[in-house]
Amino acid sequence: MVVVPVDVPGLTVAAVERVAAGAGPAALVRATYGGMPGHPVVIGRAHWGGVIASARGDEGARAYLREHRADQVECGDVADGADVDTTADLPPGHH
């Protein structure tokens, strides 16, 4: 499963492809931007039960990914991982 929230407008196909490369049932991978965790996130079938059991509100799978040491794939060179919750969060020129 590839998790891509709708509020990350700077996400690119290249970032999704990079994070999803080689994904399989045991995969647990998240994109990073300048070393900071972001999206997309790949969660292999072996982790679905654990993620469902631990997911809470707006935190989602964050604690599970941290606890299970998800592999991190830097994507800052191909995408912008900024989470945009309001129009004020949009980069200049995108209002």
Q: What tens digit of pLDDT does each residue of 17-63 get?
A: 999 998 999 999 999 999 999 999 999 999 999 999 998 887 889 99
Secondary structure of the chain in the HEC alphabet? CEECCCCCCCCCHHHHHHHHCCCCCCCEEEEEECCEEEEEEEECHHHHHHHHHHCEHHHECHHHHHHCCCEEEECCCCCCCCCCCCHHHCCCCCC
**pLDDT at residue 86 greater than cutoff 80:** no
| pTM, full prediction | 0.86
**pLDDT above 70 (res 95):** no
pLDDT in tens, 10-27: 999 999 999 999 899 999
Task: Specify the pLDDT at position 35.
Answer: 93
